[in-house]
Amino acid sequence: MNHKTRLLWIFLQYAAALFSARGENAVLKDEFSTESKRLLGIIKYNMRKSLDLDQEGCYLQMDKECLEECGFNATAKTIFIIHGWTMSGMFESWMHKLVSAVMQREREANVVVVDWLTMAQQLYPDAVNHTHTVGLSIATMLNWLQDEQQLPLENVHLIGYSLGAHVAGYAGTYVRGTIGRITGLDPAGPMFEGVTDEKRLSPDDADFVDVLHTYTREALGVSIGIQQPIGDIDIYPNSGEVQPGCAFSEVLAVASNFMEVMKCEHERAVHLFDLSLMNKDHMSFAFQCTGPDRFKKGICLSCRKNRCNNIGYNSRKMRKRHTSKMYLKTRADTPFRGYHYQMKMHVFGRKQSDSADPTFHVKLYGAHNDTGNIFVNVYDGTVGMNLTNTFLVFTEEDVGDLLKIRLSWEGESESWNSVWKSLKQRFWAWNTIPAKSVLEIRRIRVKAGETQKKFTFCAQDPSKTEISPGEAITFVKCLDGWEVKPRKRYRL
């Protein structure tokens, strides 16, 4: 199939999904129908035996001898990896990377790839329909392992990508007892968004359900990844909408690239998870927040009372809280990890500040390295004049403990809009030079998300706290009590 046909096909798939989502009202059955029985033979449990992924592995069956041959170790962890809807009918490259990352991290674990490729290579609504059967099959396999091998269900971890996440949900629903953990990697959205708990992955499907959402941007009324939170924790890297390095603007918005962009955004969940398996010591954190807007404003960088967590494999189970949503920003490629800072500063409007409309740039000087000039994104578009403003600053490099901050601003007069305005002004009053706005900033309070350290920075020259556009002032740690000690050490 060429790209255009594929593009067309995928749109048809989603359109079909939408229609059937409205009409369908399938009743859950917890036993196999004749049709499911026919399909059961198609589902294969491929236990990986060596890191050499070209080796076939061993097919698990509900048969004691087979388990022994495969070297199934019932006291070790058991990790099932479940793929999603497929067009090619083959394992894609992410599967190989994920399997290898899991095996390297958990060397003794039973790593089993659930192969339901023939049922997944269908029209999307049919593949969705099959998630129920596949989930039931996994539950049956796990029940048998419990009976025959006294497999402790709390050692079982199901990892499902896209539709595979909902397969895991069904497995959790139908198994006898409670599975230890289910990880949903960008669980599929079409036909699952807004449906009741029992028809999709949900927090009661396992003791701990953690979800990464990477492609929840809506197009034509659907999003490929589910938008709503469906786990005990739901992590939305980069708001879960657009992943850096994938966006249309970066990949050119031609139709043939649509699939590439989609794959890049949807699969980012798997790649973030891979990295979390490989980097036990350099973990990315996500911060609890009621929504992406508050996070972008820098309000949510707290780790108090378990408000932050590691992302991916290293996530810890947390007590139920009023929101399961967590956020972080990432870099465009590996290592995706970056560093978050909350900056709070009171902006005094001094001269002509009413029309200042400033944008800030900061440069951070750390014990290890310095950043470039970072544009400070003002989330709601305007800096509150004569108010304390909070910003989120993200750096790709680890600069170490902060030593200095250089701050500059540009006013309206630098934007095109205002060039036009000032031209008009000059036209009417050509002999008056427009007065420059002046802002005053005395202190910047900074909190580093990754270390939870707080510092207060004061203007290096206390007599020079007023800044005109284009100027910069440097802030250093205030002489008295510049470090605000965290109340308690956070072990992450």
Ligand X SMILES: *[C@@H]1O[C@H](CO)[C@@H](O)[C@H](O)[C@H]1NC(C)=O
Binding residues for Ca(2+): 200, 205
410 is an interface residue for ligand X by CB under 6 A: no
φ/ψ bin of 255: left (φ > 0), alpha (ψ from -120 to 50), beta (otherwise): alpha
Q: Which of 1, 28, 35, 417 touches ligand X by CB under 6 A?
A: 35
258, amino acid identity? F
Q: Which of 3, 18, 36, 257 touches ligand X by CB under 6 A?
A: 36
Q: Which of 397, 410, 414, 466 touches ligand X by CB under 6 A?
A: 397
256 is an interface residue for ligand X by CB under 6 A: no
110 is an interface residue for ligand X by CB under 6 A: no
Identify whether 346 is a catalytic site residue: no
Closest to 212 measured CA to CA, from 154, 265, 251: 265
Q: Report the nearest approach of ligand X to the CB of residue 482 (Å).
A: 24
Backbone angles phi, psi at 379, to 5 degrees: -60, -50
Q: Give 192's contacts (C-beta < 8 A, 6+ positions apart).
A: 128, 166, 199, 200, 226
Q: Give 74's contacts (C-beta < 8 A, 6+ positions apart).
A: 145, 149, 150, 151
Q: Within positions 294 to 353, which residues make up the interface with ligand X, using CB under 6 A? A: 349, 353
Identify whether 302 is a catalytic site residue: no
401 is an interface residue for ligand X by CB under 6 A: no
Contact window for ligand X (CB under 6 A) among 29-37, 53-61, 163-171, 463-471: 29-37
Identify whether the C-beta of residue 390 lies closer than 8 Å to the C-beta of residue 343: yes
373 is an interface residue for ligand X by CB under 6 A: no
- Mask 89-108, x = binds ligand X (CB under 6 A)? -------------------x
Catalytic residue among 83, 137, 157, 186: 186
Cβ proximity to ligand X: between 55 and 75 the closer is 75
Q: Report the nearest approach of ligand X to the CB of residue 67 (Å).
A: 12
**Residue bearing tokens 């965290």:** 486
Closest to 222 measured CA to CA, from 84, 472, 21, 476: 21
18 is an interface residue for ligand X by CB under 6 A: no
Q: Which of 12, 24, 198, 382 touches ligand X by CB under 6 A?
A: 24
Cβ proximity to ligand X: between 295 and 339 the closer is 339
Cβ proximity to ligand X: between 73 and 451 the closer is 73
Cβ proximity to ligand X: between 217 and 406 the closer is 406
Catalogue the long-range contacts made by 471-475 (C-beta closer than 8 Å, 24 or more residues apart).
Answer: 471/408, 472/406, 472/407, 472/408, 473/406, 473/407, 473/408, 473/441, 474/404, 474/405, 474/406, 474/407, 475/404, 475/405, 475/406, 475/407, 475/443, 475/444
Q: Report the nearest approach of ligand X to the CB of residue 433 (Å).
A: 21
Binding-site sequence positions: 200, 205
Give the CA diameter of the chain: 96
Q: Report the nearest approach of ligand X to the CB of residue 425 (Å).
A: 19
Number of residues that bind ligand X (CB under 6 A): 21
Q: Within positions 436 to 465, which residues make up the interface with ligand X, using CB under 6 A? A: none
Q: Report the nearest approach of ligand X to the CB of residue 282 (Å).
A: 14
Cβ proximity to ligand X: between 397 and 471 the closer is 397
290 is an interface residue for ligand X by CB under 6 A: no
Sign of the C-alpha dihedral computed for residues 149, 158, 128 and 13 taken in this order: negative
Catalytic residue among 132, 266, 271, 340: 266
Interface with ligand X (CB under 6 A): 20, 24, 33, 35-36, 73, 75-76, 108, 125-126, 129, 349, 353-354, 368-369, 372, 385-386, 397
Annotated active-site positions, please? 162, 186, 266
